[in-house]
Amino acid sequence: MTILTNYQLTKNQKRTFDPKDKKDLEIFKSFLAHNKWGGPCPFMLEEPHTIIPEMLKDKYIRSQFNINEPIAEILK
């Protein structure tokens, strides 16, 4: 776990994006429609991604096709 990830989790500022969670999908859908979060982004950036919106798109697409994330495969 990186220092940034650890800090975000311990301060309870951010959470991981779950593409199967309806609330997370609604937040993401609103971001796509309005191009803003409506407050601070609630999701933390996860490796190997570098941009949160692209990370969310990647995670959502992978969940739809039942493809595991590459980082999870590397750590097994």
The rounded mean pLDDT for the chain is: 84
DSSP secondary structure code for residue 60 in this structure:
H
Residue 1 has pLDDT above 60, yes or no: no
pLDDT of residue 29: 96
Residue 39 has pLDDT above 70, yes or no: yes
* 76 vs 74: CA distance, rounded Å: 6
Residue 10 has pLDDT above 70, yes or no: no
pLDDT of residue 13: 74
pLDDT band at 48 (very low <50, low <70, confident <90, very high): confident
Cα four-point dihedral sign 22, 46, 37, 51: negative
* 28 vs 37: CA distance, rounded Å: 8
pLDDT of residue 30: 96
Tokens coding 3? 């220092």
